Amino acid sequence: MTGQDPKFVKSAFAKIADRYVLTNHVLSLGTDILWRKKVGRIVREWDPKKVLDVATGTGDLALEIQNKCPDAEVLGTDFCPEMLAHAENSGVQKTRVADAMNLPFEDGGFDLVTVAFGLRNMACWQDALKELNRVISPGGHLLVLDFSLPKGILAKPYGFYLNKVLPRIAGVLTGQGEAYRYLAGSIGEFPSGEAMLELFRKAGFSGEEAKPLSGGIASIYCGARGQVESVL
């Protein structure tokens, strides 16, 4: 399935790197912190030993996993050096500049791969998931955290906030309203729920499950490499 233009994405995130964390916290009213803590609790139950956090950005999720899984080796990768510099300064154990579409790692090298708010920005979602599957060891897990579109009574007010309010606030905070207009559009295009789980299955994952958060404005997707019935 079609994703995003990598050159535009890299440029956009380089421009907002310095104020990315603050802006996300303000725009989500702090709920992005709670979402990552939820992820941390989930992965702690899996007891991973070698973790790859793809599209780590400023390293928020990698840091949460380091906190919840202190015995795990955590590596954060991103194709935007400006973002990765912030991850390093924040205390991420290990970092490496790498493109998620062509990871420089051997097959089956990690027992957990995570992606927070990054899959949506990749050039081809299906190909990205296949590449992530490649580097996961048999029985290992993939966890994706990303925005989704709520249904029911939240759908219209959230759509208004996403398309009208968010870019204006972000423009004031970062001076880069265009990057957040892109964000709003990318969320609308991104598959969620069963559509995302179907991409997981096509990429070779099993036991796939989706967990909506905060009324559906974000979702956690999990799957395993190999044959399992359930991952959550």
- pLDDT tens column, 97-121: 999 999 999 999 999 999 999 999 8
The pLDDT value given to residue 208: 96
Q: Which residue has the tokens 């580097």?
A: 135
The pLDDT value given to residue 165: 84
Nearest in space to 140 (alpha carbons), one of 16, 73, 52 = 52
Residue 116 C-beta-side C-alpha neighbours within 13 Å = 24
CATH of the domain at 96: 3.40.50.150
Q: Which residue range is the domain that position 36 belongs to?
A: 6-146+192-225
Tell me the per-residue pLDDT of 168-194, one tens digit each, with 9 for 90 and over.
877 777 676 676 677 777 888 899 999
- In a domain? residue 11: yes
- In a domain? residue 161: no
- Residues lower than pLDDT 70 in the chain: 1-5, 8-24, 26-27, 174, 176-177, 179-180
Query: Phi/psi at 213 (nearest 5 deg)?
Result: -125, 145
Note whether 224 and 205 are within 8 A (CB): yes
- In a domain? residue 19: yes
Global pTM reads 0.90
- In a domain? residue 168: no
- In a domain? residue 204: yes
- In a domain? residue 169: no
| Integer Cα distance of 3 and 35 in angstroms | 24
- In a domain? residue 154: no
Which residues are CB-neighbours of 90 under 8 A, at least 6 positions away? 58, 59, 60, 63
Note whether 124 and 101 are within 8 A (CB): yes
- In a domain? residue 166: no
Q: Which residue has the tokens 């991420």?
A: 92
The domain tally of the chain equals 1
Nearest in space to 34 (alpha carbons), one of 204, 175, 215, 232 = 215
